């Protein structure tokens, strides 16, 4: 179900989202929105979360691809489990 509203663009480029839209999307003053202009000229607003600068690496495309691959490896059993650190080190130092 979509809410249809007509918004007026004010002189300084601001719009006001109707209360019903803010409630439905749980948006509050100060929240961040990503703005994307689609090929057909429509505008898509997507709520975003602020990320602490020290954590931005985790959300990079490259890091997230690695996270997805690691999760897939875990799901398919492509992992080894060690009982202690010595077993891990011995495995790393072996000539497999």
**13-28: pLDDT as tens digits:** 999 999 999 999 999 9
Average pLDDT score over residue span 71-96: 94
Tell me, what's the pLDDT at 3? Answer: 66
Tell me, what's the pLDDT at 92? Answer: 95
What is the rounded CA–CA span in Å between residue 92 and residue 87?
9
pTM over 0.95: no
Residue pair 88/82 in contact (Cβ under 8 Å)? The answer is yes
In this model, does residue 56 exceed pLDDT 60? yes
Percentage of the chain exceeding pLDDT 90 = 84
């Amino acid at each position: 179900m979509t809410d249809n509203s007509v918004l007026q663009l004010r002189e300084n480029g601001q719009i006001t989202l109707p209360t019903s839209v803010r409630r439905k999307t749980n948006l509050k003053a100060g929240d961040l929105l990503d703005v994307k202009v689609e090929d057909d000229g429509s505008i898509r607003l997507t709520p975003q979360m602020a990320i602490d600068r020290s954590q931005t690496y985790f959300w990079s495309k490259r890091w997230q691809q690695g996270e997805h691959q690691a999760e897939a490896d875990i799901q398919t059993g492509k992992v080894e489990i060690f009982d202690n650190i010595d077993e891990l080190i011995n495995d790393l130092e072996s000539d497999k």
